[in-house]
Amino acid sequence: MSQIRTIGLPLRVTPDGQLERSEGAAAILSLIQAMVATTAGSWPHARWFGLHERFLAINADVEDQAGLADAMNDALARLGVEWARVRHVRSVRGAAWGERRFDVTLQVGEDGQPVSASLTT
């Protein structure tokens, strides 16, 4: 499969006036970080985009956070992203006081290799 390139965050404009493209997995992970930092009330017409409260409300003693993966996949589907799926979200122990860390495993494309990244709230 050829590498997927898409518009990423933060939005950047190239010298020729086009929106800069980035590698698909990096763009989706940046989008997920924006969702985690956004509260549900920030966009009343798209409350599903804001996942901040969901991440704060989880039981950090549970390693596998399937509900968070489902919420991220729902948001990606509503945004029309059909070529990437969140496979796993896991709580990571050892974060600083008041901080929560998560490992997110993303699959880009049907035959794509999983890509992992860490998120902090």
Please list the pLDDT of the chain residue by residue as tens digits (121 residues): 446 777 776 778 889 988 888 787 888 888 899 999 999 999 889 999 999 999 989 887 888 899 999 999 999 999 988 889 999 999 888 767 778 889 999 998 877 778 888 877 7
- What is the reported pLDDT for 14? 85
- What is the reported pLDDT for 64? 87
Residue closest to 115 by CA, chosen among 15, 5, 26, 6 = 26
Give the pair of three-digit tokens for residue 110. 């049907």
- What is the reported pLDDT for 104? 93
Is the link from the previous residue into 10 a cis peptide, with omega within 30 of 0? yes
- What is the reported pLDDT for 2? 47
Strands (E), 1-79: 5-7, 21-23
- What is the reported pLDDT for 54? 92
Q: What DSSP element (H or E) covers 76?
A: helix 66-78
Of the options 1.10.3720.10, 3.40.1410.10, 3.10.450.40, 3.30.70.20, the CATH number for the domain spanning 5-120: 3.10.450.40
Q: Are 18 and 43 in contact (CB under 8 A)?
A: no
HSE-up (13 A, CA, CB side) for residue 94:
4
3-state helix, strand, coil in the chain (%, to 5): 35, 25, 40
> At how many degrees (to 10) do helices 66-78 and 24-37 cross?
110
